[in-house]
């Protein structure tokens, strides 16, 4: 998993507070500074640019995170603990979550901006067209790995389906995409990735500062040394690649060993993914995800769904009969009463048109890109074929 987890440094152990009352009480106590740094930036602009300069920042719509772009920030090479914006963040964490200023300062003294994290954000995988994106996941390695994972973890997958209604191959497909069944090396440290994106990536700095705050609380809850936890480039944790906020809210102890361990425990990852999809509205027993469609004319173009996940109710959900009025026909027979959305993706030579169902939209709650949900749907189908291949007639098996 790209690194070991320990608490040998003793960080946070002195101030760890027991959380009683289950997940709901934990949720009620989540208090993290999502926009930490804003006060500092206001002081910085007022002191350095004067009042007129501060007004100029506001006039062009710059948020505090944008007022000092990463490219021009001379403090990138120093430990984060020496930066005033991080010191402000530390004070807010101490005030809202009971951390000691000294202990967090000690942590951030060992963390610096990682340029590789910033460079990777310039070329996200989702920027590629569908016909290229799918080849990363619809391949022999992922299919064979998924079939093996389903076989090895059959009991946990069956229990997850019993509790949450999510088929084993869907869970396996998501794990295959997220971490290649824990075979994909996590080469970054979570705190370094989240701090780099939270303080030096203006486009999404407030979001990642919030995730950094949740990560620090999560590390305290899990008795982790925050400096050793491995992650993906954007701070995703473990086999299921939960962000820290989701880890705290949704991860479960599925095998009853007293730990919510998504880092190395397949059972907890299986149960947590099923729980995630269930909370997002997964329909038990509904096996329809996506079907290809053909189109006539151009009337359908205005109805293509681009924003996911979609609201669960509304006029945008149309039956096959309704879609025919827009020149859209599924190439296979679908349930007459099922509502569907229209998705258009870039094929190798021409657009691919898909009609997608409610559980497809639920998968986009895990990752908002419809290409992700379609890749997961198709990978699940291939894993199912490999794990339970059709038997020849008369085989007697």
Q: Using one digit for the tens of pLDDT, what is the confidence trace for 189-244?
A: 999 999 999 999 999 999 999 999 999 999 999 999 999 999 999 999 999 999 99
* CA 129, chain centre distance (Å): 20
pLDDT at 347 over 70: yes
Confirm if 83 and 37 have CB atoms less than 8 A apart: no
> Domain extents for the chain?
13-112+187-237, 290-363
Between CA 47 and CA 221 the distance in angstroms is 39
* Assigned fold of 13-112+187-237: Helicase, Ruva Protein; domain 3 (1.10.8)
pLDDT class of 392 with cuts at 50, 70, 90: low
pTM of the model: 0.80
The residue that leads in pLDDT, 17 or 387, is 387
State the residue for tokens 């906020």.
245
What strand order describes the sheet that includes 351-356? 328-330, 290-295, 351-356, 341-346
Between CA 275 and CA 262 the distance in angstroms is 13
95-129 per-position pLDDT tens digit: 999 999 999 999 999 999 999 999 999 877 667 99
Between CA 163 and CA 271 the distance in angstroms is 9
Q: At what angle do helices 38-59 and 84-97 cross, to 10 degrees?
A: 120
* Residue 155, Cβ density class (10 Å: 0-12 exposed, 13-18 middle, ≥19 buried): exposed
Least confident of 23-32, 192-201, 333-342: 23-32
Q: How far are the Cα atoms of 73, 113, 200 from residue 77, in angstroms, in the given order?
A: 9, 7, 11
The residue that leads in pLDDT, 50 or 175, is 175
Range 49-56 average pLDDT: 41
Q: What is the pLDDT of residue 43?
A: 45
* Residue 255, Cβ density class (10 Å: 0-12 exposed, 13-18 middle, ≥19 buried): middle
pLDDT class of 323 with cuts at 50, 70, 90: very high
Confirm if 5 and 263 have CB atoms less than 8 A apart: yes
Q: What is the pLDDT of residue 226?
A: 98
Range 128-144 average pLDDT: 96
């Amino acid at each position: 998993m790209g690194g070991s987890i320990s608490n040998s440094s003793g960080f946070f152990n002195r101030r760890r507070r027991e959380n009683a009352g289950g997940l709901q009480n934990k949720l009620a106590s989540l208090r993290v500074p999502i926009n930490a740094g804003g006060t500092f930036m206001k002081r910085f602009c007022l002191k350095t640019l004067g009042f007129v300069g501060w007004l100029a920042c506001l006039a062009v719509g710059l948020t505090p995170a944008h007022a000092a772009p990463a490219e021009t920030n001379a403090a990138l090479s120093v430990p984060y603990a020496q930066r005033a914006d991080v010191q402000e963040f530390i004070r807010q964490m101490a005030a809202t979550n009971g951390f000691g200023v000294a202990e967090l300062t000690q942590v951030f003294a060992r963390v610096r901006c990682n340029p590789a994290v910033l460079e990777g954000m310039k070329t996200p995988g989702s920027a590629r067209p569908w016909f290229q994106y799918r080849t990363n996941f619809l391949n022999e390695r992922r299919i064979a790995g998924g079939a093996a994972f389903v076989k090895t973890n059959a009991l946990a997958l069956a229990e997850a389906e019993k509790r949450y209604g999510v088929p084993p191959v869907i869970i396996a497909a998501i794990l295959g995409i997220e971490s290649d069944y824990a075979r994909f090396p996590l080469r970054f440290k979570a705190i370094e990735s989240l701090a780099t994106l939270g303080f030096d990536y203006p486009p999404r700095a407030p979001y990642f500062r919030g995730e950094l705050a949740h990560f620090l609380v999560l590390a305290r809850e899990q008795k982790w040394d925050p400096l050793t936890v491995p992650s993906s480039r954007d701070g995703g944790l473990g086999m299921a690649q939960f962000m820290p906020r989701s880890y705290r809210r949704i991860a479960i102890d599925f095998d009853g060993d007293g730990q919510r361990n998504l880092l190395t425990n397949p059972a907890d990852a299986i149960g947590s993914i099923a729980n995630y999809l269930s909370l997002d509205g997964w329909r038990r027993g509904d096996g329809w995800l996506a079907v290809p469609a053909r189109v006539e004319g151009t009337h359908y173009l205005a109805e293509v769904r681009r924003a996911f996940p979609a609201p669960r109710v509304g006029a945008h959900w149309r039956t096959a009969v309704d879609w025919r009025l827009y020149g859209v026909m599924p190439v296979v027979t679908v349930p007459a009463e099922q509502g569907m959305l229209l998705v258009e993706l870039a094929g190798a030579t021409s657009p691919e048109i898909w009609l997608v169902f409610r559980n497809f939209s639920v998968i986009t709650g895990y990752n908002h890109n419809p290409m992700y949900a379609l890749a997961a749907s198709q990978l699940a189908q291939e894993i199912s074929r490999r794990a339970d291949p059709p038997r020849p007639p008369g085989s007697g098996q």
